[in-house]
Amino acid sequence: MTQYLDFEKPLAEIEGKAEELRALARQNSGMNVADEAAALDAKAAVMLVDLYKTLTPWRKCQVARHPERPHCRDYIEALFAEYTPLAGDRNFSDDQAVMGGLARIDDRPVVVIGHEKGSDTKSRIERNFGMARPEGYRKAVRLMQLADRFGLPVITLVDTPGAYPGKGAEERGQSEAIARATEACLRIGVPLVSVIIGEGGSGGAVAFATANRVAMLEHSVYSVISPEGCASILWKDAEKMREAAEALRLTAQDLKQLGVADRIIPEPVGGAHRDRAATLASVGNTLRQMLDELSQTPPAQLVADRRRKFLNIGATGLAA
Amino acid sequence: MNWISNYVRPRINSIFSRRETPENLWHKCDECGTMLFHRELSDNQNVCTSCGHHMHITPRARFQALFDAGVFAEVPVPEPKADPLAFRDQKRYPDRLKAAQRETGEREAMLVATGDMGRTPVVAAAQDFSFMAGSMGMYVGNAIVAAAQEAVKLGRPLILFSAAGGARMQEGILSLMQMPRTTVAVQMLKEAGLPYIVVLTHPTTGGVTASYAMLGDVHIAEPNALICFAGPRVIEQTIREKLPEGFQRAEYLLEHGMLDRVTPRTQMKDELVSITRMLMGMPPPVKGDLPPPPPAPETATPDPEPAPMPEGGKTTP
Ligand SMILES: [Zn+2]
């Protein structure tokens, strides 16, 4: 049972009708609804293509936040073997909003780190909806340093609304923790590749995504602030999130033009959640490609390239 | 850098700042309500002489107090691409920028300068909260990179005064990208073995705190400065409870291990001189009022880069 987004309502109606017809047919074996249902399916398919062909930035935010979208955990399960979670920041706790550990992609050992939002009420609360606390960033730094010492590439999967605006998180220095994580990204002499799989929320995303290669899923977003937050500050009205999403240029397509994203990974029609297996596979392919591209680069060059890449970002702006 | 830029330029600076003569001769302290004569207040670096409350101070005024005899030379900052996203909220971004430029008389939200501070050559950068809340965009990022490059070129420490409401939303993702960009700048300093001292002033928040402001070798804050990633209002809305008195203020951060020191503005120069000289392995500072530096600049013939070691400097990278 798909959860529909508000702009998918007309689609939900048609798909619902087709489903109803089929349910009716199952109860009355004499009824032949195949043609009618197929017509509805075809209509729905056209509508889905149409809807997703020109998603507005705000709609992309909604798709990026879709609860059924594949999350970090799904990617780790599908794409990696021997995943061995490594826990804790050695200071305070283990942050469940950040997954990470050793794993193999094909036969290649790597360190994988990502934000995990959770998939039901219980896991969402456990994972703090993917909002890391300082311990999450500190765990990531520890894992990046481990990777650096043993020459393992680092893969980060970014999916976070942002850092957690909580009392403890501030007391325990989340600013410093984020700054150190970004610093670690820029220091390690191993390939660092990143995929924005859903939401790239502000500093919490930068802390993981300061990478040699940054790929974004087609409908993922990456922004300095949430459209709601931006709207409430600049428009003094949180309901102006559509306008804010538009102005912020947070889509994968805009970010590719700005040089922040290096490549875009196409999503199945209707978004990643409509064909999870296909999405997982394309992300896997992109990860392999990005790792292959960097596998021969010497450590000092990896560091220098990464720093130069970020120093150069923004020189051109959006093409008019 | 020649004699003109080292010595005459600063005079132009001081003429420039005279433009900002306040229309109101009296200023009311927003903390204790005392009426303060503007001269008295500016002579005390905008710290209330009655209660010690630290009010806003512009980078120019700060540098005049910081550098010996108020003499400093501005470091040019590469101009970024204007309005890179063609951003428009209720106003156009270029209009907001122009308004801020008119109000402050400054080009942007950060000023970078070189000069002597207690006869100690330094590079200093100061963020201007009165310019669009000091927000960090491409220009501020460029300024920090330029400051770090200048410090490395001259083999001097960098002292950075932070003050910002956060990232410049009107530059979207490009403002966020200043977090890694400025972090690269900090790494340049560290790799050159040069001290990087951050003075956190009120307020330092958001992406600024979560990048260059928290990566110093030494963190000093001005009293009662608000220093945070997420602001108190956002936190109160999230956790639905009132935050304790003094939460996220300098003294609170000191207690929680995020700062080395909390130091009043009026004692800041002496402290910075002392710390930087020790870190640079220089002899103890000379106390008392110092004359302006001689017109012949000590950096007349800068070493061809790289020049990691300052004169007499013994630093451990
Ligand atoms: Zn007062």
The confidence score (pLDDT) of residue A319 equals 55
Question: What are the backbone angles phi and psi of residue B160, rounded to the nearest 5°?
Answer: -120, 125
CA-based R_g, chain A, Å: 21
Would you give per-residue pLDDT tens digits along chain A (320 residues)? Answer: 579 999 999 999 999 999 888 888 888 777 778 888 889 999 999 999 999 999 999 999 999 999 999 999 999 999 999 999 999 999 999 999 999 999 999 999 999 999 999 999 999 999 999 999 999 999 999 999 999 999 999 999 999 999 999 999 999 999 999 999 999 999 999 999 999 999 999 999 999 999 999 999 999 999 999 999 999 999 999 899 999 999 999 999 999 999 999 999 999 999 999 999 999 999 999 999 999 999 999 999 999 999 999 999 988 777 54
Give me the residue label for tokens 């507005």.
A56
The residue of B85, B90, B152, B173 whose CB has the most chain A CBs within 10 angstroms, and thus the best one to mutate to test that interface, is B173
Which of A170, A179, A260 comes nearest B177 by C-beta?
A260
The confidence score (pLDDT) of residue B187 equals 98
B105 CA to centre of ligand 1 in angstroms:
27
**CA separation for the pair B242, A166 (Å, rounded):** 12
* B243 and A CB contact within 8 Å: yes
Q: What are the structure tokens assigned to B160, written together?
A: 């950075």
Would you give per-residue pLDDT tens digits along chain B (317 residues)? Answer: 333 333 444 444 444 444 445 567 899 999 999 999 999 999 999 999 999 999 999 999 999 999 999 999 999 999 999 999 999 988 999 999 999 999 999 999 999 999 999 999 999 999 999 999 999 999 999 999 999 999 999 999 999 999 999 999 999 999 999 999 999 999 999 999 999 999 999 999 999 999 999 999 999 999 999 999 999 988 998 888 889 889 999 999 999 999 999 999 999 999 999 999 999 999 998 776 555 556 655 554 444 444 444 333 333 33
Nearest to B70 by CA among B132, B7, B26: B7
Strand partners, A217: A265
The confidence score (pLDDT) of residue B300 equals 45
* C-alpha triplet A63, A69, A71: angle, nearest 5°: 130
Question: Containing H/E element for A235?
Answer: none
Nearest to B197 by CA among B307, B313, B105, B277: B277
CB B11 within 8 Å of CB B307: no
The confidence score (pLDDT) of residue B292 equals 58
Chain B residues with CB-CB distance to A234 below 8 A: 89-90, 169-170
Chain B, 38-77: which have a CB under 8 Å from a chain A CB?
none
**CA separation for the pair A295, B232 (Å, rounded):** 45
Q: What is the dihedral of CA A263, B206, A99, A75, to 10 degrees?
A: -20
Question: Containing H/E element for B201?
Answer: strand B196-205
Q: What are the structure tokens assigned to A29, written together?
A: 């074996």
Chain A, 250-289: which have a CB under 8 Å from a chain B CB?
250, 254-255, 258, 260
Chain B, 72-111: which have a CB under 8 Å from a chain A CB?
80-81, 83-90
The confidence score (pLDDT) of residue A173 equals 96
* A234 and B CB contact within 8 Å: yes
How distant is the alpha carbon of residue B307 from its chain centre?
24
Which of B88, B181, B214 comes nearest A310 by C-beta?
B181
What contacts A132, CB < 8 A, 6 or more positions away? A95, A97, A98, A115, A160, A163, A164, A204, A207
Q: Euclidean distance between the first and final Cα of chain A, in Å?
A: 42
B22 CA to centre of ligand 1 in angstroms:
19
